[in-house]
A and B are shown apart, each in its own frame.
Chain A
């Protein structure tokens, strides 16, 4: 390994820019700067030193801040493009239809490309996950590469630095003093800085006052938080950690709860309430006359059942009731780590249809027939000596195909029936096809008709089944992240160096990683108290000098114009 020998005699590892011991500039680049680059205390960033094996090359790639920022930008752009079209979970895909075709139909070629690139389910697409994974690698590698040397460097920092180091700090001052004055200044500085909660270290002819070193760890702490957060998100993919499913359940139904093995849910009722006029202010009633009523409550009254432990799926013969609950928005049913949330609803799904068997001419009814769509019967008696035979039932009638009626779904959206009506007058039976608003009499004119009279409906609850064991991990990651951000934002690492030179001067220099204004306030206080030499902010001076130069140039230009 190549070593860099400093003027002070200390051997530094390759890549070091400021001598570990005295702080003198080592690299040409560093020597060319007027002010020292203090970000990583001039330590050798590991990745920049070795580049031998393939592992080193991969490591160095991810260690680069440029690469890290590029990954972040690419991720942001990709996520932004993911909002161009609705994500697949928000798209209603018809039953048995292809998701790709649905996008193609709605958005044309753009939709097809969008789907093929995986942008329709962006968090689930492999390349997006790889991007996030690369971001995680970048965060970890870059933090290790910078954090560890920085930690070591600050832990081992010397009190006595070289004059070259002090001169190249942003805040610098020098003044001639007698030995007695210098000793006095050191004592007073120590006293004052201690008062201001600085840690003081003294060596022969040198003093270091330091405060808030932990502020330098802020970025590394928030990276730890991010990694924990990402780990939590990844855990959601492990079986048993995370469940997020939807359950549509109708009033009166008992359904197996998806993702919650051995549990069944019975819906007794879905309630949708709106505010009545006397429940709200007068002006509100007026303003909303043209608008729909305002929702007050969405509620599913349910019963939770559990099958015995040895019961297999489908066996509902020995269910025991676990609990009864009115699930409302933000008031879920909770059991065994699972929660059932009120998420959605559909009102007034057809449940029972009422017909009258009617003589078409006289409009006289022979009696009523009520068909329970959840359990249609084969035959319905009407009065004493008439009957209606239900031949076919199509819950979601969608037209004819090859002369046969079709149903588009199992839901009673558009029920259609084929009846055979037997009355004393028509003992051979008459056939009628009855759909909403379109009765067809396939075998010629009938004498009797099934006249529609009314319907009973029921409501459907849309519930979300959720189980999340990663929440605590995500919370922890979030808290650590915020802690890091807070530390990095509200605290600063401040240092003051004093050095007594052999030729009878006192040098002072200071550095902080942020908030120079407050640092200067501390310095003003200590300078006055301990009679330290006046300091200058070399950065400000440079800025001023540049501005002067610019003004001068501008003037010259103006002069040119007036010529």
Chain B
């Protein structure tokens, strides 16, 4: 009987290991394409980029504030559509400790300035010339928005166009208490 018990345990262990290996494989492949670096709750990777006025913005300098990183390009229509909404919600929330960093995808200064001038944007716009930050944040589709709480943790990753209502809700969730 002892032998039988041993056999049962050996079989259970072997099957459990193999099933775990399959589960791991399926799980990692399924989540591979959807932002592996940016798990909600993880520390937002630090970066530094230069804005249109030549000023350097470093994410870690914004600790204590709720930050929205908005990745965009001039050719992306939903980016264009949500930009006024971001601007107005930014103005509504900036006194409550909300900051917005708008990150352009390696376009020319001319195009970016033209774009920001036409929308009268009040938040800093930086250009990711080497696409280093875009790659670090694993942004594949535009627009992509990353909401970071005052402790520097990623609270939400949103791909696609946002409305004023959504922005208001998202900003409220990351503003400092």
Size of the A side of the interface (Cβ < 8 Å), in residues, is 52
Give the CA-CA distance A313 to B141 in the complex, in Å. 19
Residue of B nearest to A234 (CB): B25
Q: By CB atoms of chain B within 10 A, which of A96, A254, A313, A373 has the most?
A: A313
Within 8 A of B (CB), among A41-69: 46, 50, 53, 55-56, 58-59
Using Cβ atoms and an 8 Å threshold, which residues of chain B touch A56?
8, 11
Contact B133 A375 (CB under 8 A): no
Stretch at the interface among B68-76, B90-98, B150-158, B163-171: B68-76
Contact A393-B111, Cβ < 8 Å, known A56-B11, A312-B47: yes
Contact A264 B75 (CB under 8 A): no
Residue of B nearest to A316 (CB): B130
Residue of A nearest to B58 (CB): A312
Shortest beta-carbon distance from A396 to chain B in Å: 7
Give per-residue flags for B120-141: 1 if the beta carbon is below 8 A from chain A beta carbons, else 0: 0000000011111101100001
Contact A129-B26, Cβ < 8 Å, known A314-B49, A375-B110: yes
Give the CA-CA distance A133 to B28 in the complex, in Å. 14
Residue of B nearest to A124 (CB): B29
Give the CA-CA distance A332 to B128 in the complex, in Å. 27
Contact A234-B75, Cβ < 8 Å, known A313-B132, A316-B132, A374-B108: no
A492: CB under 8 A from chain B?
no
Using Cβ atoms and an 8 Å threshold, which residues of chain A touch B26?
126, 129-130
Contact B48 A58 (CB under 8 A): no
Contact A96-B110, Cβ < 8 Å, known A256-B132, A315-B47: no
- Taking a contact as CB atoms closer than 8 A, the residue among B47, B74, B135, B141 that contacts A96 in the complex is B141
Contact B110 A377 (CB under 8 A): yes
Give the CA-CA distance A69 to B174 in the complex, in Å. 55
Q: By CB atoms of chain A within 10 A, which of B14, B60, B108, B129 has the most?
A: B108
B177: CB under 8 A from chain A?
no
Shortest beta-carbon distance from A505 to chain B in Å: 41
Give per-residue flags for A109-150: 1 if the beta carbon is below 8 A from chain B beta carbons, else 0: 000000000000000101001100110110011001000000
Contact B75 A313 (CB under 8 A): no
Q: What range describes how many residues of B lie at the interface?
A: 35 or more
A409: CB under 8 A from chain B?
yes
Contact A126 B30 (CB under 8 A): yes
Contact A53 B15 (CB under 8 A): no
Using Cβ atoms and an 8 Å threshold, which residues of chain B touch A395?
75, 111
Using Cβ atoms and an 8 Å threshold, which residues of chain B touch A238?
28
List 9 tightest A-B contacts by C-beta distance, closest first. Answer: A133-B22, A256-B132, A376-B110, A314-B47, A237-B28, A313-B47, A313-B136, A314-B49, A313-B132
A390: CB under 8 A from chain B?
yes
B119: CB under 8 A from chain A?
no
Using Cβ atoms and an 8 Å threshold, which residues of chain B touch A53?
8
B114: CB under 8 A from chain A?
yes
Give the CA-CA distance A28 to B157 in the complex, in Å. 68
Using Cβ atoms and an 8 Å threshold, which residues of chain B touch A130?
22, 26
Give per-residue flags for B54-98: 1 if the beta carbon is below 8 A from chain A beta carbons, else 0: 000011100000000000011111100000000000000000000
Contact B48 A314 (CB under 8 A): yes
A255: CB under 8 A from chain B?
yes
Contact B107 A315 (CB under 8 A): no
Give the CA-CA distance A141 to B136 in the complex, in Å. 42
Shortest beta-carbon distance from B82 to chain A in Å: 14
Shortest beta-carbon distance from B134 to chain A in Å: 8
A378: CB under 8 A from chain B?
yes
Using Cβ atoms and an 8 Å threshold, which residues of chain A touch B28?
237-238
Give the CA-CA distance A395 to B115 in the complex, in Å. 13
Residue of A nearest to B109 (CB): A375
B6: CB under 8 A from chain A?
no
Contact B130 A264 (CB under 8 A): yes
Contact A58 B15 (CB under 8 A): yes
Task: Report 8 cross-chain contacts, Cβ distance below 8 Å, ordered by A residue.
Answer: A129-B25, A133-B18, A136-B21, A137-B15, A144-B14, A255-B130, A256-B136, A374-B108
Give the CA-CA distance A110 to B129 in the complex, in Å. 41
Contact B109 A314 (CB under 8 A): no
B40: CB under 8 A from chain A?
no
A179: CB under 8 A from chain B?
no
Residue of B nearest to A392 (CB): B114
Q: By CB atoms of chain A within 10 A, which of B12, B47, B110 has the most?
A: B110
Residue of B nearest to A260 (CB): B135
Contact B75 A55 (CB under 8 A): no
Q: By CB atoms of chain B within 10 A, which of A95, A130, A234, A312 has the most?
A: A312
Residue of B nearest to A47 (CB): B11
A32: CB under 8 A from chain B?
no
Q: By CB atoms of chain B within 10 A, which of A129, A254, A377 has the most?
A: A129
Contact A378 B45 (CB under 8 A): no
B105: CB under 8 A from chain A?
yes
Residue of B nearest to A390 (CB): B110
A407: CB under 8 A from chain B?
yes
Residue of B nearest to A231 (CB): B21
Contact A255 B131 (CB under 8 A): yes
Q: By CB atoms of chain B within 10 A, which of A55, A144, A393 has the most?
A: A55
Q: By CB atoms of chain A within 10 A, which of B18, B30, B108, B130 has the most?
A: B130
Give the CA-CA distance A58 to B18 in the complex, in Å. 12
Using Cβ atoms and an 8 Å threshold, which residues of chain A touch B30?
126
Contact A136-B18, Cβ < 8 Å, known A234-B25, A410-B105: yes
Contact B47 A393 (CB under 8 A): no
- Taking a contact as CB atoms closer than 8 A, the residue among A55, A136, A137 that contacts B12 in the complex is A55
Contact B45 A313 (CB under 8 A): yes
Shortest beta-carbon distance from B119 to chain A in Å: 13
A258: CB under 8 A from chain B?
yes
